[in-house]
Amino acid sequence: MANDEATPELQPESESALPGAIRVIVADSEPIFRVGVRRICAIEDDIRIVAQVESAANALTAVGRYEADLILFECGLSDSPREVVSNLLAVAPALKIVLVMNEPTEEETVEFLRRGVRGIVTRSVGPDLLIRCIRKVHEGETWLDSRGINWVIEAYRAQASQLTSPRSRMKLSTKELQIISGVTQGLRNKDIAQEVGTTEQVVKNYLRKIYDKLGISDRLELALYCMHHRLLENFKAETSTVETPAIPQVAAASASGVGNISRR
């Protein structure tokens, strides 16, 4: 029994291949939780469990092996659940992730949503609410309790305030400004490294420092920050290989979704 639970298991064909059924993977360390979810879903015509796993590594294996629409993933399966979320979406970009947590915090809730999580439930979630959650998330909605919703709203209000309110210019080095210039031109980290004369890893390290300094989380927010604060307006590159971009081009790229200003 223990060995069977350690590896992903596919439901019998008669249960897993119903047309239109929501295909779910359950990744949880507690056998009783996995069995409970399976029994709850078994009486629903539109939901089928296609795999059950008890580790983060097996969750990644299951996502790569089976066609699933949604995964119920227990945060406690990994010491770095944020990285696991990113890895799951790297393997299956269309996968919808619902996290099972004991007591979500504000910081965790906001960060998980930013990373692509579609829902968060606690271990005490009732059967009816769990089924509703699965269906709503599958339909494209986000599932949070009222406290989580308030946290997310406040986080985006704070972000909007940072992007629009006047702030003193942060102390950024010439190298950091060169890298920011490359980002707003839509260059990849590899291309920026070639332009600046360093390695791709160094560029990644600089970007993390820049994000911390400016209070932002990704490349798109960096581009928006540059537009609102005219961060590069007076910047003169020390070499001729890095040029200050035209701000309207950045706006067009971010507005149309074209270019490489993406979350990395």
Q: Over the stretch 2-50, which tens digit does the pLDDT of each residue have?
A: 444 444 444 433 344 467 899 999 999 999 999 999 999 999 999 999 9
Q: Where are the domains of the chain?
A: 2-156, 174-256
Residue 249: CB atoms within 10 Å = 13
The answer regarding whether domain 2-156 maps to CATH 3.40.50.2300 reads yes
- The pLDDT of residue 2 is 41
Distance CA 122, CA 63 (A): 22
- The angle formed by the CA atoms of residues 25, 29 and 31, to the nearest 5 degrees, is 80
How far is the CA of 212 from the CAs of 22, 60, 136, in angstroms? 39, 30, 34
Is pLDDT above 50 for 210? Answer: yes
The mean pLDDT of 100-105, rounded to a whole number, is: 90
Least confident of 55-59, 151-155, 204-208: 151-155
Residue 54's pLDDT band, with cuts at 50, 70 and 90, is very high
Q: What is the DSSP string of 116-143?
A: T--EEEETT--HHHHHHHHHHHHTT--B
Class assignment of domain 174-256? mainly alpha
The mean pLDDT of 81-93, rounded to a whole number, is: 93
Helical residues (DSSP H) of 53-172, grouped into ranges = 56-65, 81-91, 106-114, 127-138, 146-164
Least confident of 30-39, 162-171, 237-246: 237-246
Model-level pTM?
A: 0.58
Distance CA 52, CA 31 (A): 9
Q: The tokens of 65 are what?
A: 């092996």
Distance CA 5, CA 51 (A): 10
Reduced 3-state DSSP string for 19-53: CCCEEEEEECCCHHHHHHHHHHHHCCCCEEEEEEE
